[in-house]
Each structure stands twice: as C-alpha cells, then as structure tokens.
Chains A and B, each alone.
Chain A
Amino acid sequence: MDKVEEVKQNALQEIEQANDVATLEAIKVKYFGKKGELTALLKMMGTLSAEEKPKFGAIVNSAKEEVSEVLNKKMDAFAKAEMDKKLQTEKIDVTLPGSKIIRGSKHPLTRVIEEIEDLFVSMGYDVVAGPELETDEYCFERLNLPKGHPARDMQDSFYITPEYLLRTQTSAVQARAMMANTEKTPLRIIVPGKTYRREDDATHSHQFNQVEGLVVDKNISFADLKGTLEIFMKHMLGEDTKLRFRPSYFPFTEPSYEVDVSCFKCGGKGCNLCKHTGWIELLGAGIVHPNVLSMNGYDPNEYSGFAFGTGLDRLAMFKYGITDIRLLYENDVRFLKQFDRKDD
C-alpha cells in the first residue's frame, strides 16, 4: 500500500517538474507503459489473496486516474501553447481592404421616382408609362389645347413633323390612360418620365423629368387634391412642409392652381433658395377640365377628377442639395458614385 502512494507521489513530482512534451511522454511510458511502474503494481495483484485483491485494485486504479489526469492536463497546456506559437507565425494584416466588386449606384432622379412610386402605389395608384415620341393629338389636342392656342407658347416643343414631337409634358399620358380604359371605370395613376422642351440654360435642361398624377372618379373635389398633395409633399420634404395654392391657368384643368411649398431650407423665413419669399413653386394642379374628360370618353356629368404635375429634377435637387441642374445630366462618375448607399 505504501508502495502505491510512493509511486504516485514520485510520478506527480516528476510531472510537476517536467518542462516539455517529450519529458511528459517519457513520464507516461515510465508509469503507464507495459513495463511502467503503475502497470507493474497492477500486475502484483496476482500475488494477493482474493480478499485483498479488490481493495488493492481500487487503490492502484485511483492512483492511476489521478496521475493520468494531472499528466493529460499538463500535456494539453503544452499543446495549446505550441499551437498558439505556430498560429502567431500565420498572422495577417487585417487592416488590408476586403476583396469585393465595385459598388454600383442608382441615379438620384431614379431614387426620387421610386420613392414617389412607392408612396402612390401604397395609396392604390397605378404607375403607367407612355411614349416619349408623342403625337400632337395626345400631347396637346386631347388636353384641350387646340392648335394655335396661346397657351402653347408656355411650352416650346421639339417637333419631328407637324404631328409628332418629343412630349413636353407627362400629361400626354393622361389622355392615353383615359382612352385606354375602354370600360371608363375610375382611374388613379401616376406617370413619372422624361419630357423635353426647346430651352437650355442655367436653370433649364432641354430634357427633364416630370411626374404626373391623375384621379378620375365620382365626387372628386379640390379638397381631395389638396389633401393628396399635402401627403405627397410632406412625404418628400418633411412633415412640417406647408402648401400654398395659387389660382393659375392650365388648359387641361379648371380650376387650375400653382402650388408652392414652404421653403424647407429656411422654414419659410426667407432665404436665397426661396428668393426671400418663404415659398418655392413646385407643382401645377387642378380639377380636370370637363372638355378633357369628354374628349377622352368620360362623362363630365358623372365623373370628376384632379390632376397634378411636378418637376422631378428640382425635387431631386432639393432632396440631395444639388445646386446645378446640369449635374443631373452630365453623369460624372464622381457625382453618380455619391448615390451608392441606402438613403435615410
């Protein structure tokens, strides 16, 4: 019995003093190998009486387990230290850039269009499109603008032939949508798209973008138009945005209004952006002219509607603080790349 305790103490002491894996391996052989000291003790069991055997066996096994546990622990510690040392040599520079493909970007005008589409689609509107090379009939005549009408001066057009032109307004799609709806059921549409006018200067691009809205239904009033545009502008320019409606004139609506929004830069106090008026003119709107309804197959006695239109270029410019309209069409990659992330 004492012998067992002695061997155990010796083993533990040797383990304690061991400084590397090799020494530990040697200790393992010395005590647990075929000729190992602890193995030899077990072999001694054969010489004992049946009574002593189990008792002695239990003592030796317990000593074996204790030594083995201490030994394994120390082995693991050495192994881990060694691995750590090896991994240290594999160290890389984590500050180098990740490998990725270049990041694309969406044009600011598209961003604004998508935002408007999402808003109106959520209110049950259909987004529709129409040709950019339009006929005089749809661009003007079906909108109550016969040839020779002085209001045609408001829009200098790029004609291709006397009958064809690049559309000057997305309103052309109003007439198309009404004509296409052969059942003459209620309509709720918006039309974002490119438009063209024969002017080019610091504040006008000959190609620009508009969005048009049209609702035709029963009992549509100016109050509905006002409410709709309030939601639209608050959505685009912020909850605090106020609207001012001024009577105006468009041949396709009667009554007609020009709509100003409170200047979002100065909050209406007056600044350079709003030319010190506190207001920025942003939309044209009105109640659909009965001639436009009847010319496109809707009975003005049964239906009424409202329409509105606004320039997307200016909305995009306001939204992103772009100061020169030409930037939108120059497509300088350094400009485009600024619109390469999620917008807040």
Chain B
Amino acid sequence: MILSTNFLKDYIDLDDDLDIHQLAEDMTKMGNEYDTEGKLINATKLVIGEIMDCVEHPDSDHLHVCQVKVGEGDVRQIVCGAPNARKGLKVIVALDGAKLPEIEIKKGVIRGQESNGMMCALYELGLDKKYLTDAQVAGIEELPADAPVGEDPIKYLGLDDGVIDFDLTANRGDLLSILGMAYEVGAIYDKKVKDIDLTHAESDEELKFKVDVKTENCSLFLAREVKNVKIAESPDYIKERLIASGIRPINNVVDISNYVMIETGQPLHFYDADKLNGMLQVRMAEEGEKLTTLDEQERELSAQDIVISDGTRAIGLAGVMGGLDTEITENTKNVVIEAAVFDGVCVRKTSNKILRSEASNRFEKGLDPNRTYMAMERAVKLLSEIAEGEVLKGTEVYDKADKENKKIEITVENINNILGTKLSKDEIIDCFRRLAFECESKDNTIIVDVPTRRIDISIKEDLIEEVGRVYGVDNVEGKSMTLSVKKGSYDRTSREIRNKMVNLGLSETLSYVLTNPEEAPMFTSEKLDGNKESIRILKPLTEERSCLRQTVTTALYRLYQYNKAHHIEDINIFEIGKSFYKLGEEFFEEKKLSALMSGTYYTGLKQEKIDFYTIKGVVEEVLEYLGYGARYSFVVDDNIPGDLHPGKSASIIVDGKYMGYIGRINPCICNEEVYVFEINLDKLLAVKTGKMKYKEISKFPTVKKDIALLVNKDVPASDLQKAIKSAGGKLLLNSKVFDLYTGKGIDEDKKSIAFTLEIGDSTKTLTDEEIAEEINKITENLAKKFNAELRG
C-alpha cells in the first residue's frame, strides 16, 4: 500500500512540520514496515514560466531558442528540443542549478546559443511514464494558461505530495485504505479521524435493477445505478492522488472506482448498465465455462471461481477481473455499481490463476461489511458530483454479513501478565481510546468494543498486542526468566562425529538437498534401493533443483566437480545431512554421514596420494571412536552401488548389519581417483555401545613377535586375522598387519603378509616355552586353513 500524505490529510490533521521520514519511522514502530518513503516529485529549483518568444535554432533542425519569463522582469534564454514549445505556452522551468532525479541543470551553450535552464516534461521530474498521456511523454508539460509565472509548479499541480510505500503484514487488511491509515496515524499522534462525506443528491427515479446471490461465497452484495454520467478527465486532485497511490488515471468514472477503493479499502466494480440484462447474479462458475476478461483474454473457468452473471452469461470474475463486454467505455452513459464481500480464499485461488490485483488483494485480506455500505455511498456521491450523474433512488441489497462490533472482555492482569508490565487500568483504557475503540470497565475488567474495521482482532491476545503497540514496545523492560532448574541437552554424538571428522582432516560442507533427476539417485545400491524412487517437487524452480537427493554422496560428488573445475587438487570433504526417498506411497528421510576424499592427505615432505586405505582408515577411526571397536567389518557383497569401482569398494557392516558403503568412484563416472563413503547414522547409532569403564592394567610383561606368512594372493587379510584370533585365544592380546609384499622372490600367485602378535598373561610372566607354544598354535592353524607357510 502506497500512502499519499495529501490524501491522508483529508481525514486527519497532521502537524505541518511533520517530516515524512518521521511518519514512516513512527509507523514502523507500530508494526507497519515500509520499503521507501519520500517526496512524490524529487526536484529542486522549479518555477512556472511563460514562453515569450520562440524561434528556430539557426544551427539545428529541431531545436528552438526560447525567451522564457520566469518572474517579474526576469526573462531567460533557454534552448529547447520539445516539438510543442511555442510562444505563449506556460511551462515548468528547471533553473540553473536545479536537481532533477536524473540530471543537474547547468547554464551552458547549445550549438552556439546560450541556454539558462530546461523546460521539463513530468517524467523528467521523476513521474513514471505510465501515468502520462502520449502527448505528455512526447513533449514538455503544458500548463493551463492561468498558471502563475514564478510560482512552484509542483505545488500548483498538486504534486507536492509525500508518499510512503508500506510493506504491510497479512493481517492488516484494514490498512489497505486511507481511512484505515488515518486511524493508525491517529493512534500514534492522538488525533481524531474526520468523518467521511457521503451526502449526495438522488433523483426520483427508482432503481429497478435486481440482484441474485446463489453462493455462500458472497456474504454481501450491494448494487446502485447512476444515470447519464459524463465521461471526462478527472479533476487534478483525483489524478494526483491516484498517481501518488500508484494507479494510472483513466477517466473520471473509472478513476472514481479506484479512488474510493484506495480511500475506503472496498473494491468496487462499475458496469455499463446498458450492456447488462437488468440483473446481477453471483454464482460459482460451471466447469469449463468461458469468459473474456478486461485484458481481452478468453479464460476457462472452474467450479472454484466465483462469477458475476447478468442471468444469461458470465460477465466478470468476482473480486478479480471484470468482463470485456460490460466494461466502462468512452460511450458509457449509465453505470451500475457493485460493492460486495466475496470469500477471501476463493478470490485468492482465482487470482493466483489469473491476476493478483489491488482489488483481489483486499478481498483476500478480508473486508469490513460496514465499509461496503460506506464505499457505495461515497462512490455515488462522487459520480453525481464529478461525473454529473443522476443517482437512482434505492439500493439493491443482499446481506448475510455480520456487521456487529465484537465485544471482548479483558482484565488488567491479562495484559500485564503477558506484556510483563505494570500498567494501570486508566493507562490501558487510554490506549484503546487512541485507537478509537470504545470501552467500558468494571473493577479490573475492561469490555472493549472492537470496530468491524479491525477484522484482525478477535481474541484477548489481539487486544494485548494493541496495548503493547500503543504503549510502546520499547517501554517494556526485558528480564531474565526465573524458571525451574533443568539441565539442557543436545545431540552430542553428531557433534562428536563432526569434530572427529574435522580432526581427521576433512572439511565440513553444507550442500543442497535439491538436485536434478539424474543425480538424485546416484550412489544408491541396485539391490538395496531398487524399489525406492527419488522424490520430486511439485512445482520446482528449475529442473536442476527438482528432486531430493537419495544419497548425500551425490551432493558431495557435485561439490567435488565444482572444486575440481576451480583447479583445486586436494578435496577432502564430509557432511552430516539428510537424504530422502519414496517407497510405495510413503516418504522417508535418513540421516547420513558421507565423505569424499581425493588428492593428498599428508602435507609436508611425506606426501602420499589418497587411496582406498586412507579413507578406510577414516571410517575405522570414526567407528572405533564411537565405540564399535571390534564390531565392524568391511565385506565385499552384492549390495555395493554400481557407481563404485567393483574391485575397490566394500559394504560397511556393524554387528552384522549393513550401514553403508565405501569405495572408489567408478572410473566410468570419474577418471580421477576419488574415494567416498556413506554411513546411515540413524541405523548406526541405534546399535548401542557400552559405557567407558576402567580395566586393570596387567602387571606382567607382554611379548611382541613378528610372523611373516606366505599365502595365496586372494586370501583376505581379515580371514587370516580371524584365524589368528581364534587360535590365539586368551593369551593373544593383539594382532596387527604391518607389511604386505608381492613380487620378486615370491611366486606370482602368492603374497607375503606380516603380523605383529602381542602375547601375554595378566596373572604371570610367560616362559619362553609357553610363548613358543602359543606362536606354534597360531601358525599351525594358519597352515591348516590357508596353507600358509612361515617365512624366515
């Protein structure tokens, strides 16, 4: 809503020195934000001038050299290119030093002729061209012959207005009107709102027009008729206020409907009475019904649209747009006026399809039915006065609206408890008085009579907010709460995982959940996720962001590509985030830990390219840190996603359950060596771990022995490890792989793998014989199971 302060001043007396910026700020404190504020015309050093003489420029085919009188005995030469510059014309002159929105005017010489200013068109003063006629845009502004030379042309034209463009909250439909604004401003400055003038003449002729409402989605419908209107240009004050309010003036009749809407907040619709069938009907549209609207487009309607009909055909979309056939034209003589209240939700749905307009916006936010009557009377008054129409006697009324003021009971305690204030009853009643709410009180109870214009107020809490607004939010002291003692809590595990990953050298990312349909299912497992689909947005912004990712890895791979394109070599990133899928008709979301590693892992002299074992180390470190020490394994099975290298990937298993995958991205997708893993945290963290507890340290020494085994190449280390453990029993405290060798000196199908075994007993020192026996047990088992030979 753009507020014209000139318009506002019709309804409230403002101090002459009230600065527009101050008003905007004071309104902001009341909860009404604004986008911009300022003068309608931002230009200085303008005067009304008269062209005393106008000759063609000797060195130009389109310039004129004019002698312009700008004051008593003050004639200045100005070179002007406007085609309509001519002797005797009254014009707007920007003097030397004038500041216009686009330029600053300076004395100068144009093709050898001195020029001491500029004659202006209104758009050069900052008025949007959409408000101007073609003639006004083609040349300089032509002022009436009686315009006083030397005076301020902006004031003379009534364009000396201040405007504030408010960004109002959705509940304050009442502020979409000058009257509503007047009440709000009145509450700020403690001023009374003036009455609106509705008095008008009426002819003796009776209205014969009929109204028929056939839907519950219209609660109030009024119709009147004004005959023999004279279509002409509107008076300047109407044009100026419409322009200041952001509406293009058209002709006096159309302008009146807009003027009254801005003034009262009630949208009106004017019909050419001679094109109607003697009646207006309100009903829901038939499915597929056709209507050509004002903008000359044929619309196909649905059963959710409210239409106005003249009994034979649809002639308008209620609250949204009128029909082309019945609109006011230059030739209109008789006007039927509609003032109605339509259901906001219906209008909203229709306007979302067709056009959001000043009118539809007001219906959506809700209207005051008492204002509907007022707007009708105001419109016929202006039509009779400005368009010289004859107002027929009588109003056709359909009225199912509730027009009673709401009475809300509230206590002084209610207000002070919620605001945290210590206001007295008198202070509270004074707040309501400033808002022009009547109230009566008994003891500590106040009964507030809420006017119907404030449709946003229906419960006690709404009144508390009003008191808070008028009293001033800044006047409430903040305090520390005194609440029961309670320990706070947060998801420590996620934070610990994050810290661990950071400590392991990875950078945390925050990637987009939405991606394109091709990338959304990347890195899913054909076997595990075969029945799952990615979830699609109904109305995506772009196809690029139309689907929810099914893995977090797909987003990390995207980030890898982005960084790679920026010539970054070492990319080691991770994220804890959600991924989503659809299974049957149900939607699921899962919390994942995903990481991607590529490049080098060590810095300094010891550079080492990241390989499978680097990222595996990260996973092991995380799992062990979380307490799954001996419970995890990496297995090769058919759950591994096809987007991974089949020979360099594994499923991550904890307590026998599948938790995710690890591996190199399939070279068919990415040539570079890039490794990823993804673990389902919802599943993993459901596996319970024990509390940390102290275990006694053995007082007896342990012995470390290294063994190197020669085995077939395809024997997995984890199988050897298992066999060592089972044979080693209690005395084997630990066993670790420390070397792997293939090549020279070893058969091609063999490998040498070396373990360090730690042997000990917590109750005694082992003898050399006991140690030898333990080693023997282990190597024998390995020989038996894997044909493993002990190497020197």
A235 at the interface (CB under 8 A from B): no
**How long is the Cα–Cα vector from A125 to B483 in the complex, in angstroms?**
11
Choose among B29, B365, B419, B507 the residue that contacts A222 (Cβ–Cβ < 8 A): B419
Given known A-B contacts A101-B504, A188-B486, A223-B479, A159 and B538 have beta carbons under 8 A apart: yes
How big is the A interface, by class? 35 or more
Residues of A within 8 A of B498 (CB): 106, 110
A104 at the interface (CB under 8 A from B): yes
Q: Give per-residue flags for A215-238: 1 if the beta carbon is below 8 A from chain B beta carbons, else 0.
A: 101011111111111110000000
Identify the interface centre among A100, A198, A223: most chain B CB within 10 Å of its CB: A223
Residues of B within 8 A of A151 (CB): 170-171
B308 at the interface (CB under 8 A from A): no
**How long is the Cα–Cα vector from A176 to B389 in the complex, in angstroms?**
61
Choose among A102, A114, A247 the residue that contacts B30 (Cβ–Cβ < 8 A): A247
Residues of A within 8 A of B559 (CB): 331
A161 at the interface (CB under 8 A from B): yes
Given known A-B contacts A110-B498, A247-B473, A124 and B478 have beta carbons under 8 A apart: no
Report yes or no: B488 in contact with A123, Cβ–Cβ below 8 A. yes
Choose among B169, B349, B507 the residue that contacts A333 (Cβ–Cβ < 8 A): B507
A150 at the interface (CB under 8 A from B): yes
B490 at the interface (CB under 8 A from A): yes
Pick out which of these stretches binds chain B: A42-50, A59-67, A253-261: A253-261
**How long is the Cα–Cα vector from A102 to B511 in the complex, in angstroms?**
22
**How long is the Cα–Cα vector from A287 to B169 in the complex, in angstroms?**
17
Report yes or no: A222 in contact with B587, Cβ–Cβ below 8 A. no
Residues of A within 8 A of B444 (CB): none
Report yes or no: B602 in contact with A227, Cβ–Cβ below 8 A. no
Report yes or no: B572 in contact with A104, Cβ–Cβ below 8 A. yes
- CB of B345, distance to nearest CB on chain A (Å): 4
B101 at the interface (CB under 8 A from A): no
Closest residue of chain B to A259 (Cβ to Cβ) is: B473
Report yes or no: A224 in contact with B420, Cβ–Cβ below 8 A. yes
Given known A-B contacts A99-B604, A249-B170, A254 and B465 have beta carbons under 8 A apart: yes
Choose among A148, A154, A196, A219 the residue that contacts B170 (Cβ–Cβ < 8 A): A154
- CB of B240, distance to nearest CB on chain A (Å): 29
**How long is the Cα–Cα vector from A100 to B607 in the complex, in angstroms?**
9
**How long is the Cα–Cα vector from A106 to B506 in the complex, in angstroms?**
9
B157 at the interface (CB under 8 A from A): no
Residues of A within 8 A of B782 (CB): none
Report yes or no: A161 in contact with B486, Cβ–Cβ below 8 A. no
Choose among A101, A243, A249, A329 the residue that contacts B171 (Cβ–Cβ < 8 A): A249
Report yes or no: A221 in contact with B587, Cβ–Cβ below 8 A. no
- CB of B557, distance to nearest CB on chain A (Å): 12
Q: Give per-residue flags for A196-225: 1 if the beta carbon is below 8 A from chain B beta carbons, else 0.
A: 101110000011010000010101111111
Report yes or no: A97 in contact with B490, Cβ–Cβ below 8 A. no
Residues of B within 8 A of A101 (CB): 504-505, 601-603
Report yes or no: A332 in contact with B563, Cβ–Cβ below 8 A. yes
Report yes or no: A133 in contact with B504, Cβ–Cβ below 8 A. no
Q: Give per-residue flags for A272-312: 1 if the beta carbon is below 8 A from chain B beta carbons, else 0.
A: 00000000000000010110000000000000100000000
Pick out which of these stretches binds chain A: B61-69, B279-287, B456-464, B764-772: B456-464
Report yes or no: B489 in contact with A121, Cβ–Cβ below 8 A. yes
- CB of B420, distance to nearest CB on chain A (Å): 2
Residues of A within 8 A of B171 (CB): 151, 249, 251
**How long is the Cα–Cα vector from A223 to B416 in the complex, in angstroms?**
10
Report yes or no: A124 in contact with B488, Cβ–Cβ below 8 A. yes
Residues of B within 8 A of A290 (CB): 459, 461
Report yes or no: B481 in contact with A227, Cβ–Cβ below 8 A. yes
Q: Give per-residue flags for B206-218: 1 if the beta carbon is below 8 A from chain A beta carbons, else 0.
A: 0000000000000
**Interfacial residues of chain B within 486-527, with CB under 8 A of chain A in the complex:** 486-491, 495, 498-499, 501-514
Report yes or no: B587 in contact with A121, Cβ–Cβ below 8 A. no
Told that A102-B603, A334-B568 touch, could you supply 12 new A-B pairs with CB distance under 8 A? Answer: A96-B605, A102-B572, A107-B508, A110-B498, A194-B513, A206-B514, A207-B514, A217-B484, A221-B418, A224-B479, A247-B30, A333-B570
Q: Mind listing 5 A-B residue pairs with CB under 8 Å?
A: A103-B505, A148-B345, A150-B344, A227-B480, A256-B465
